[in-house]
Structure 1
Amino acid sequence: MSSEYLLLRAKNDELIENSACGGAVTSILKYLLDEEEVDGVLTLKKGDDIYDGVPVFIEDSEEIMNTCGSLHCAPTMFGGLISKYLKNQKIGVVAKPCDAMAIDELKKRNQIDEDNIYTIGLNCGGTVMPATAQKMFELFYEVNPDDVVKEEIDKGQIIIELKDGTEKGIKIDDLEEEGYGRRENCQKCELKIPRNTDLVCGNWGSEDDWTFVEINTEKGKTLVDKALKKGYLESKNPSEDLIGRRSKLENIMIKLAKKFQKNYLENNYPETDKWDEYWNRCIGCYGCRDACPLCWCKECDLEKEFYKDVNPDISPDPLTFQGIRLSHMSFSCVNCGQCSDVCPMEIPVARMYDKMQKIYREKNGYIAGVSEEKPPIFVPDEE
């Protein structure tokens, strides 16, 4: 179906007050639970503070208020959680672009049942590592990180709100020139509006206290229509001006991502001898594999004895370890960056996988998590 645009907001005043941009997402999740359309919803809730985003599977709509608001300091991936632990459940999931890409790839590989899942996408300008955010707020905003109660990425700025209600914002460009701001993989991600979901929600192009929603599938349209009919939401049509503003912002973010790609994957890309140095740092902890949402093999090649030394308890040598993963990830990587985030030896593995993904894309046009067809490696009649 062709995309349909709406402005939506919750009819529940408490949801509007506590949620971001009108509470439409939270209200849709509440509808799914109340009407028993799903067994549960997978989303994030705030832990001790804004730096502590905790994945939560909610089965009771009374708990939905705990998930209100955005948490950009929580670069958590949901695809792997669904395929490993929620495969047989009917669920709704809130998905930023890299989540949506991973879920899409896992559907193609029969690891997630498309009939069992509603995907509610979120526009995303990027995420920030919690430790980076705390240091950044202290150095550049000159505030105590513990006093920050809300954060938002909007209008080219990272904006924070303090306990006393005051707000401060600094341009993302200025922060990232100093080595702070968004995660590297977020900076070079081109998918800012995940249209591979049933519907996409966000504040880009919205009015105050309204959510701009783009409906992408018949399933998404049916979901919104039912939530409107049951009185969970109210709607109106966005103006052409708002639609244009959203499109303009998306294009600006994509151009910015391509500029970062040029730096990360071309200008500043390590030479081959440097990569040997990186790979030889590898201690075979399996952290990159375990964090990757696309690693789903029931029997992992990396644990087969013939890849190891004489002692089966020793991991494969670094080049074998990384070579095997690279052979799997060159057509699968969705640029989430989780592998680099968890690497204790600070090997920029995500950069290598992304470089190979770009080469794969140039050869056959396939973009993991975005292209509708299966990867060519799974299609015998394609070269």
Structure 2
Amino acid sequence: MLMSYVLAKSKDSAILEAGECGGAVTSIFKYLLDEGIVDGVLAVRPGVDIYDGVPTLITDSEDLISTASSYHCAPTLMTDLIQTYFADKKIAVSVKPCDIRSMDEMMKRHKINPDNVYTVGLNCGGTVSPITGRQMIDLFYDINPDDVVSEEIDKGQFIVELADGTEKGVKIHDLEEEGYGRRNNCQRCSVKIPRKANIACGNWGAEDGWTFIEINDEKGQELIDAARNAGYIETKNPSEKSIEARSKVEGIMIKMSEKVQDATYVDTVAMEDWNRCIGCYACRDICPVCWCFENCELNKPYFKDELNIPPSPIAFQGIRLSHMSFSCCNCGQCEDVCPMDIPVSLIFDKMQKKYCERTGYVAGVTDDIKPPLYSPEKTEL
């Protein structure tokens, strides 16, 4: 895998003012739209408020300014949206690590054509539930949540900014000790930089007013060169100090995740957890990698049980685990939508880790080992 580093920032004054850490991501998207290289940009912009991150298809580059910020209350639906609605379009998309991991799994299944997609990765320290976000700011910051204009995770703190430019931060650890802060799956996620994306962008290690970009493949390199040559961004090489600072931040975030994994992973699942399952199929339907609904095993006649409707929890979840646990990218959506508060994501992520221990395969990350769908290992296992 090609990997190099560059610092970049927008040459558009409006984007510089509105964007995060130099606005390079927004300007790269603007270049792709203006030059007609893509049909649209799939990004996130606020809906009702900044806690309501809404995936939006932008086709007019003048509208990109509305996406020029950071949203930690962001959805993880990008793979579903591209596969379902834009499979035949040329799309540029902003992706968090779990987004690109699920997208990579769908590319392996030939459900997304990588030639049609430009993936602009966003380094991620975690996302926050919209409802939890508003509650924790009200409780821990002594601030009206409606007065917050932006937020970020930096140096172990969740930091909010008000309209007058003042900032207030609270340690993530303190928030999460009280049941707030990042979503549970984000707390245990150890993939913080989306290296399967063409480029991975963020403020870790960046100088003020610049975006630190890791270029991960030839397509990413060509994109950066073309956007710079067309006058949309300016670039410079990062210092060794910047590279080391970025690596240090990533390392700290991964160590935090590993501590959470050690504390939360369980060897067995209590039957009372499974027995709460009502077979609503919400976890199946929201999963970005579970795609074959029409031919789903759970819809087959021999699975129907007239005497046991919905199907028994063990049968339902057992089929899901056998089909999908090795492909879990820890996006956490299954747990988000479960009406019975079953720790579905935790269980699937634990199973994926066990599969990795046996085969070395990490869903949406590993290149040199085929996924179980194509691997002779599946018979042995």
Give the Cα separation in 1 of the matches to 2:356 and 2:286.
Answer: 24
TM-score by length of 2: 0.96
1:296-335 correspondence to structure 2 within 5 Å: 296-297=291-292, 298-310=294-306, 314-335=309-330
Partner residue in 1 for 2:341: 346
* Pairwise CA distance, 1:328: 1.3
1:221-300 correspondence to structure 2 within 5 Å: 221-265=221-265, 269=266, 271-272=268-269, 274=270, 276-297=271-292, 298-300=294-296
Which blocks of at least 5 consecutive residues in structure 1 are unaligned?
none
* Deviations 1:286-316, CA, capped at 9 Å, x for gaps: 111111100111422112222122289x442
The answer as to whether partners of 2:55 and 2:75 remain within 8 angstroms in 1 is no
* Deviations 1:72-122, CA, capped at 9 Å, x for gaps: 012333112211221111111100000010011111111110111111111
Is 2:120 aligned against 1:120?
Answer: yes
* Pairwise CA distance, 1:16: 0.5
Q: Residue 118 of structure 1: SS of its match in structure 2? A: strand
1:63-74 correspondence to structure 2 within 5 Å: 63-74=63-74
Amino acid at match of 2:374: F
Is 2:179 aligned against 1:179?
Answer: yes
Give the Cα separation in 1 of the matches to 2:165 and 2:211.
Answer: 23
Q: Residue 149 of structure 2: SS of its match in structure 1? A: strand
* Pairwise CA distance, 1:270: 7.2
The answer as to whether partners of 1:202 and 1:212 remain within 8 angstroms in 2 is yes
With over 3 angstroms needed to count, the CA separation of the structure-2 counterparts of 1:311 and 1:231, relative to structure 1, is farther
Give the Cα separation in 1 of the matches to 2:102 and 2:325.
Answer: 14
Partner residue in 2 for 1:4: 4
Give the Cα separation in 2 of the matches to 1:225 and 1:342.
Answer: 41
* Pairwise CA distance, 1:271: 4.5
Amino acid at match of 2:299: E
With over 3 angstroms needed to count, the CA separation of the structure-2 counterparts of 1:282 and 1:114, relative to structure 1, is same
Identical aligned pairs, as a percentage? Answer: 59
* Pairwise CA distance, 1:380: 3.5
Give the Cα separation in 1 of the matches to 2:196 and 2:268.
Answer: 35
The answer as to whether partners of 1:75 and 1:129 remain within 8 angstroms in 2 is no
Partner residue in 2 for 1:131: 131
TM-score by length of 1: 0.95
* Deviations 1:60-83, CA, capped at 9 Å, x for gaps: 112111111010012333112211
Give the Cα separation in 2 of the matches to 1:212 and 1:88.
Answer: 31
The CA RMSD measured in Å over matched residues stands at 1.5
- What is the aligned counterpart of 2:365 among 353, 363, 370? 370
Q: Residue 331 of structure 1: SS of its match in structure 2? A: helix
Which blocks of at least 5 consecutive residues in structure 2 are unaligned?
none
Q: How many residues align?
A: 377
The answer as to whether partners of 1:5 and 1:238 remain within 8 angstroms in 2 is yes
